[in-house]
Amino acid sequence: MTFFESLKNNIGKLGLFWQQKINSQLLRLNLIVIAIQLAFLIYKFNQLPPEVPLFYSLPFGESQLGSTSQLFFIPIFSITIGLINTVFAALFVGNKSLLSRSLIIFSLIYSLLSLITLYQIITLIS
């Protein structure tokens, strides 16, 4: 069985995975956190300066600054991580449900940490 055939078979089982109460609650919570990220960013966008400290791993100074529009990468990455983990959860939904659930939990944790980061960047400037 090829990778794509396995993916096709497991995507059919993904509906059963999301019908489990805890899994659907984790998905909803993840979507709510991402929506809060976007809403907060859009709400504060006009109050932000043209450049914000975004790249903290770079040396101190101008190299840490990024344009305000680059802040939208934070929720975009949260969405991307969530989609990728959902696809992999579909692959492991059968006998490896712990791995599937772990991927969904990781997506939620990543979204929460992204929300905290976004909040700290925006409130640092305001």
Name the residue range of residue 43's domain. 3-125
Q: Are 41 and 118 in contact (CB under 8 A)?
A: yes
- Per DSSP, the three-state class of 57 is coil
Q: Is the pLDDT of residue 65 over 80?
A: yes
> Residues of the chain with pLDDT > 90: what percent?
40
The distance of Cα 14 from the centroid of its chain, to the nearest Å, equals 19
If one counts the domains in the chain, the total is 1
The pLDDT value recorded for residue 1 is 61
Residues contacting residue 96 through CB under 8 Å, at least 6 positions apart: none
pLDDT digits (tens, 9 = 90+) for 19-28: 778 888 988 9
> Which amino acid, residue 104?
I
Q: Is the pLDDT of residue 106 over 90?
A: yes
Looking at residue 116, its pLDDT comes to 96
Q: How confident is the model at residue 91 (pLDDT cuts 50, 70, 90)?
A: confident
